[in-house]
Amino acid sequence: MRRLRLAALLLVLAALCLCTSSALANSTVTMQLTSVGGNNAGGVYTYPYNFSINGAPSVPLICDSYDNEVIVGETWKANVSSLLSGKGLFGNQLLDYKAAGLIFKSILNGTLTANVGNYAIWGLFSTNAQNSSYFQSSGAAGIETQYLAMASTAKNSAFNGLVLYTPIAGTQSWGGTAQEYIGYSPVPEPGSLALFGTGLLSLSGLVRRKLAKG
């Protein structure tokens, strides 16, 4: 009985690992800005912003709210939702959020630089960002237009793994309402999940056999 319980525990732990990303969505978390990367343009830091979420090790996120301000060490609570949830800081500006998500993925794969890409995202939601000298001189406006067109025809599957961290007003430890951020966690293909599950079953069988020999 003890051997079977151990095998079952392994399967449960693996399932929990697979469900971590989906479980995080539609929840409330505590965020702390731990540091910023070396990228900056127009006197403003750009991606990455490094966060500890619920006390976990830091992860890099990208900011979409140019007009809000935060400082390193600040904490606040945020609602977590999918990029396409319509629950972000800017309401149901779904096309803008889609364009922001595609721009972020292009930054991650090296197609766009962090500075220009982040300003293009900011321009989607802020006229102040659009009026900044860097936005106007860097080509961010053209990128914004290009990605809005791409977003208008992109399938919803193109936005899998993109998550919004929307600040809850009044929970910040400093200043006004904190910034909103976008995170990305690649989602395994269904075929990969099936293979992973098969491998776990094989592993559990191996554990049982080894314990039986012990």
Higher-scoring residue by pLDDT: 22, 170: 170
Residue 189: is its pLDDT beyond 90? no
DSSP class of residue 113? -
Residue at 20 is within a domain:
no
Q: What pTM did the predictor assign?
A: 0.80
Residue at 109 is within a domain:
yes
Residue 17: is its pLDDT beyond 80? no
Q: What is the pLDDT of residues 47-79, one digit of tens each?
A: 999 999 999 999 999 999 999 999 999 999 999
Residue at 170 is within a domain:
yes
Helices (H), the chain: 2-24, 94-108, 114-125, 127-130, 133-138, 140-153, 190-213
10 Å CB burial of residue 82 (0-12, 13-18, 19+) is buried
Domain count, the chain: 1
The residue segments making up the domain with residue 122 are 27-185
- How does 42-72 read in b/e, with b if 16+ C-beta sit within 10 Å? bebbbbbbbbbbeeeeebbbbbbbbebebee
Task: Report the pLDDT averaged over residues 149-164.
Answer: 98
Side-chain-side CA neighbours of 151 within 13 Å: the count stands at: 25
Residue at 3 is within a domain:
no
Residue at 202 is within a domain:
no
186 and 159 in contact (C-beta within 8 Å)? no
Query: How far is the C-alpha of 102 from the C-alpha of 158, rounded, in Å?
Result: 8
Task: Report the pLDDT averaged over residues 131-142.
Answer: 98
